[in-house]
Each structure stands twice: as C-alpha cells, then as structure tokens.
Structure 1
C-alpha cells in the first residue's frame, strides 16, 4: 500500500478485527492492573507493545505532548514478547508529519521512508527506517498522542484494514492514557503533599530544637553548632558587609575564616541580588569570593533582620551535594531565631554596659553607700578595694557620640587592657577606671602615665583633645568622689592653660591651690594627699622628707643629720617618689613638698 489516503474498508472486515483489538486492549489493561500504578511511560510502553503484536511490527514509541509543546517518547524494540528500550526521541511541535496526523486524526503510513522528503535523513539513518506508521490517539476532538511503529530495517506492507485496526486500538487506548496521566499526576501530587508534610514536620522539629536552645541560654556559637549538626553543613555568621565573623562545622569544630572560600563577594551584583529578592525568596545562593581550601560549592545567605534592620547574614555552606529544600527552609527559619538571639545579646550587652556606667557614675559622685557600691562592683568582677585610678579624656563636644566612644574604647583596649574599659561619659568627655599596681601610692604609676602619654598624638585626629588627666590612686569606694573632684579641677586647669601633656593632681597641685583659692579645706587635703601615704608606709619616710627639705635637698647633710648612710637617704627618696609621685630632685617637687609640710605644721596641736 502506498502513501495516499486509506481506502474504505467494509464493515464486516473491520468488525472481524475488533475481537483482536479488544483482546490486545484487555491484555494491556491487565498488565497495568497486575503491575500496579507506575510512571506514565510504563503504561505507554504496554500500549505500544500490544499494537506491535497486533500488526506484527518490531519497533514502537508512544509520543505524548510535553509541557514545552513538543512530543517526547521512549523507543522500544519488541522481540519474542519482550520490550527493550533502545533510546529516547523528541519530535518538535512543528514537524509536518505530526501536524498532518493531528489535523486529520487519521493514521499515516509511509511505505518507502528512504525516499520520502518529509522524513529527516538523520532520523532515517539513525533508526534504519524502511517504512513508518503514524497512528493518532484521539479522545473526542483532541489528539493526546501519536504512536510510531515500524518493522525496524525490514520493509512491510499494511492493509487498509490493519490501519483501521490500529486506529481503533489507539482510540481505545487514548482514554486509558488520558486516565493514566490523570492518575500519575494525582499520584505525583499526593507524593508532593506527603513530602511537603514530611518537610514541614522536620522543619517544625528543627525549629523547636533551635528555639529551645536559645531559650535554654545557648550562645551564638552553640546555636550555629546545633544548626550545623542538624543540617550536616558548615554554618557561618556574616556581618552586614559580608565579612565572616563566626563559623562552625558539624560537630562544633571552628572554621578558619581566613581560609579561601569563606569570604563573600562584595559588589554591585550581589548587592542588587540581595536587595531585589522576592518576598517568597528570603535567601539566595551565591558563590564564594575565592575558591580553594575553604569549601566546595556555594553558600546560602539568609539575611538576619531585627527591628526591621539588617544586622548580618546566616550562611549555610554547600558540601559535595547541593543543599536540599529542607536545608534551605531550615536555614531561613534558623535566621529568625539567630537574629532574635543576636538582638537579645545586644540588648543584654547594652543593659550590662549601662549598669557598669551607672556604677561608675555613682562611684564618682558619691551618691550611694560605699559598701553597696563595693557589692555591686563584684557583679562585674571588679574589686574596689584593689588600687585603681581614673583617666579623663577630654572632648570638645558636650557629649561624645556612640561611634566616637566606640572608636576610643577600641583604641584604648590594647593600651590599657580590657579591664580598664569601665567608663562613663561626662559633660566634658569620658572617664575610665583603670587598675593600678597593688603597691601604688596616691600618684598613678609611671607605667600608666607612659601608656596614656602614647595616645596623645592620635586623639586630636579623631575629635578628642588634650589634656589627658589621671587621678590619685584610690583603694576604697569612699575615696573616689574626692579623687574625681580633683580630676575635674586638673582638667579645668589644663584646658585653661592649654596644657598638652598628661596631668595629675600632684604635678598641678600647688598651682591649682594658689589659682583656685581653695581655702583651708583644700589646702589641708593637698597636704594630706602628699604626706599621709608616707606616715602609713613608714614614719621614717616623713622624717627623711623634713630633713631633706631642711638641708635644701643635700643628701650628705641629710644623712649626717639622721645618722644614716647616704644610700639609705637615696633609697628613701626613691620610695617617697613611688608613693606620692613627688620627684624631690627637681624644684617643682621640692616646692610641693615644702608647702605640704608647712600646711601640716600650721595645723592646731602641731
């Protein structure tokens, strides 16, 4: 039979084939029922196989229209009742032969495929075609698929009755294929629903574990470790400018954040991607800025939001395999818990910082009972019965901003040590409490003075100014109000005269006493602060000081008067300097000591 229209077939001839058609259809349905529900291509393979057997052909493929509009099929070879898959094939929607079959809804038989210009030469060569049969699977006015059949590399002839038989069988199967497609879609939907339920259940479990960890008081590292263990992927906390801050691997091992692969690219492309995320896309997958020793794969970035402000990013790193939907959703959920934890820790730090600042303020102004202040200080691991000094750093503005204060504290940390960063702001700058040596007298140790002196060159460029002032050393909470009052007087004196070095009550005491006109009370305090440490340490130091002053600073004459060796006098003078900060080898020190002794001698009862 040629390539023309199918001749009319007598009704009795066609009816005679129906038992075979019904039997073939029944066999296909029974095999499907026996094997149970499965993928749609398994059903179409059974349909093609039965039609092959019905027409005594060897190859078949049932093409169904895909979502892209093209037709797709798996090609099978049928031999001795066994189907063997031999490849896959796609026929584009614009293929002229398919378009004709779909338009006419009639079978098309090509007896001489090699010489038919409508068949691509590549298809003929690939499959060794000699003849070809196209059978539409019609459901009402709709063609749901097209069955291709051929006799492999043999030439065959098909009668008009055979073509009508094929059409009858294909029409019966069209409804079954349609129903099988619906069943397959329903099964896929049910599977998707089950998967979604499992996903939501696991997400709920992960959420409960993360929230429970936060409520139990876990720190950020603990929460990141828990998430890494739950997902089996390394997790990294990034700052708002995408610099790695903290990272852990499953099991809790720290990540070396300086290794290649952990720093994110910071550019306009990533910025736009983060800014233009859809509402239903709370995270994005990005590649690291560099490859190598860090990790393989991308990094899922989930923004950390608190009070509608971006405070950082949570990163979950891919390993050998891409992140699963569960890992993506879990990371997005975890970002909320971690942001909340960061906000809580920030508020706690602010509250603790305010409490420390309040403690120092109460200490400086003497507004609380000293014993109560001592107990409060212990809450911050601070013992007020150990020696401390106050450092005042001046600011031209009424009060330093948070950023300005943070810069200063970060700069002071390596100079004075973290223990020195208990601070409070004043109208003229900032006051810090700094530990002093255990054997310190009232004058700050020279080591503290030298360390503070090293800051003088940097402060003006950052908006801070001179003078810097150190108080006398305090050993008890009750001493701080007087020390702070003197410190403010020193700062005022230094600013009045434009002094740019480190000032102390001792090296400015006499001039402040004269210029401020402090009266007897301040004069007595000036003398007491200089001489009292000597009486407490060793009464011989007081007598040595008086003899040294009486002998106009001559060591030999002083030694002769006290009947001791000259080296003993030198030792005592050095100890006086360490206890009071008063250097008796220069005129200023001699003058301060002379005035202090004279004030003491004028007291009643002397």
Structure 2
C-alpha cells in the first residue's frame, strides 16, 4: 500500500503505483474522484482508497501497520494448523469456545460436508454442534486435556479427534482433526502438544486485543461523558450522524458474564472492520455506530453471537453529532428501559420516552397532587368507580362518545352518565384544549 505523500498531484501519486509493488493508493479527499485520477488508476491497475481529511496520516499509518501485524499473527495460527495436520495426519481446524473457526490447515481435500460448511461459514453448523454436544464432546473439553475420538455421528459429520486448548483451567478453544479412525498414542500426544502451542498463540493475541479493547472503551466513555475532550477521529468514526446503542445481556440471576461476552463479541476482529466502537460500563454495553448503519441489524447480529439462553435488551438513541453523544446515550438508556426483547429505537419510540420521563417525574412526587385527575383517581379508589378509564377513553376518542363507548364495550348512554357523574366529583374543563392535553398526559402516566 502506497501513502500518497509529497507527490505533485493526486494523479501523479496514482501513476507511481506502476513503478512500485503497491496495489493501492490512499488519498485524503471526498468523492467524487477527479476524472484524471480515475483514468490514472485504470491505467496503472491501482485501487484508490479515499480517507476523510479529518483522519491524520499518522493514524492511517498505524492502522495499516496493525493490519499487517495482525495478519502475521493470524498466519502463525494457520501455520500451526498446517503443522498439526502434518503430524497427526488429517485436515485441522482451530476453533474458539463458540465453535467459530480461528484457523485451518491448508490441505482440506476429501473432507466431509460439515467441515466444508464450517470453513465457508467460519463456524460449525448448528445441527452438527448439537450432535457433538449430545455425544458429550463439549462436556469433555470443559474438564479434560486428553484428546477425545468422536466417531461418525451423522452422514455429513465424519470422524474427529479433538483436544482442548487451555490456559490453566480456562478453556480457550479446541483443535479438531478429521481422521479416518482412532489414532495411536503418538499422534494423540502430538495433538496435545499442538493444542498447548495454540494456547500460547491465543493468549498472546488476547493480551494484545485486551489492550486495544481497553483503549477503545476509554475513548468511547469519554465521548459519551465529555465529548469535547475526546477525538472521535481516533476511533475511526465520522464527526456527525452517529447513534448510541445501549445493550444489556443476562444469562442468570445476578451474573454479568453475558454482558462481558457481549462486549467481547462487539469488539471482536480488527476495529476498523467493525461499524461500531464499544465500551462496557457497569452491566451496560454502549456502542457508538454511524447512523447510516442499520443499528437494529447490528443488535440482531450481536444476539446471534451470544448463547441461546441469554436475554438481550437493547435501546437505540437518535442520530447525533459527536458533541451530542451524551444526549443520544440518554435516549438509548431510556429506550433500553422500555425494551422487552425487541430493540427500541428512539426515532419510533420518542412518545413512549416522553411519557416514561413524565412517569419518573410523577413517581418522584413532582406532579401536582391536586386537580381533576387526582380527584377522579381518589374517587375510583374509594368507591370502585371507573371514571379514570372512562375519561381516558373519551379523551383518546377526542370527545366521540360512540367511539369511546365501543372502546369500553359499554352503551353510549352509560358513558354519558359516567361523564355527568364525573363532573359532580370534580370540575372538568373539557372545552379547554390545554386542560384536555394535561388531563390526557396525567392519565397516561398514572395508568
């Protein structure tokens, strides 16, 4: 990759590619590209990447270097898979705890359909995972370092030799070798050695990833609390059209394990390949995401990465500039409080958010304690009448007696009688639009 610095023109930078080993040119700028640049790119066969001018060159260089280094580390794990395959004698995959593929050996010819699906989908198919679970493979991996031979369980899932990848007592993943049948002790021992080496690779990768996650989380929290003191460009995000997503994940009474796992999944992979930037604050996962991205789809993809038994609640704040992220976070928190399993988006739920805020005001005792609604509620509580429900229906129907009666499943005359008796309990200024609005709000937040 060639950084186009110090060249007399953009087109000249693109033309440089033909005399170097670079395959792409990175330019500061915004679309559309000048026709001369497009022509030069086509002639040289170069890819042209446009980067927002607000992103410093130094940051871009760091991103490029991280990609190169990250590829080297992943390559080491792939190389290890090749070594294990050669010693044990069968195609290999190295997987994490959720059966997602981290690396696989180069030679995968004559493998069964499940292995093909596993590599193409980057994780073990759910049907195969259930069969392995029923056989007891995952229970064995959780408690033993000894390899386990798994015979052919289905027509699509052939023999496997499996060993746990462990650091101390912590299970990091597993190594899977497709074999023709049971293997001798020497090959089993070689697999154990390979699994131990894989553990070192995964620990090294995790240490680096943990530092990156912490740096990302610190920046996200600063943006959500004091955006004026944080640089959104350092996270690779635009300075406008952002949203905050608030997520809570539960998988047991009083446990935060699901929340931590959600944070790990949200920050998995190289940062600039992910749409959002995340931080775990208490038991809430906050993610800042460009508003142009589908926030609901992002939440659903996160849910798919979590255990099936996890309960996930999510609230999505409205669009905001970087300096308005605290507001979007508050909206996300309030939408989260309204969530019952389906992500709640502020754009669609602002009315419920408003009523939720007013309900909080009412619970704090900051609403008037006297007035027509208070009088009606006290009368209902004391005499068992249904005046509050009746008035709410009348106001919702905008004074249409027949529509309100249908809503309550009563005769229109019954509703008229109730309205008349209500006026004897307390003055009802129904001709005043402000009074009607205030009564409708008060009834809504006290129901």
Specify the TM-score bucket, using the shorter chain as the normaliser.
0.3 to 0.5
TM normalised by structure 1 equals: 0.33
In our comparison, the structure showing a higher alpha carbon Rg is: 1
